[in-house]
Amino acid sequence: MTVINVYVQPKAGRTEFGGLYGDAIKIRVKAPPVDGAANRELTKYLAAQLGVPKSAVAIVSGHTSRRKRVSIEGVDQRELIEKLGGLS
């Protein structure tokens, strides 16, 4: 299991990796921050990018904040960096 810091930018033009944001990975999500839509979009996007089931991605903290801690089962940190394009 890997736990990462994520900074979410809701209501973006499309869902995509947005580079590094301080100590976090910035993810732009198309969904608005209403009724958990942005959180669902975030977990769906990360699961697809990392090749794991949606159930393997869970928001550990920050459910109502832009800054979140997300745990991902089945991916180590090296794989995470490779699959997200080197985090550049």
pTM for this prediction:
0.90
Give the model's pLDDT for residue 76: 86
C-alpha pair distances (Å), 74 with each of 9, 48, 52, 84 = 25, 13, 7, 15
Segments forming the whole domain that contains residue 75 = 2-87
- The stretch 63-87 carries a mean pLDDT of 85
DSSP structure class, residue 14: S
Q: pLDDT tens, 12-56?
A: 999 999 988 999 999 999 999 999 999 999 999 999 999 999 999
Indicate which CATH number applies to the domain containing 34. Answer: 3.30.1200.10
Within 13 Å of residue 3, how many CA atoms lie on the same side as its CB?
Answer: 6
* Tally of domains within the chain: 1
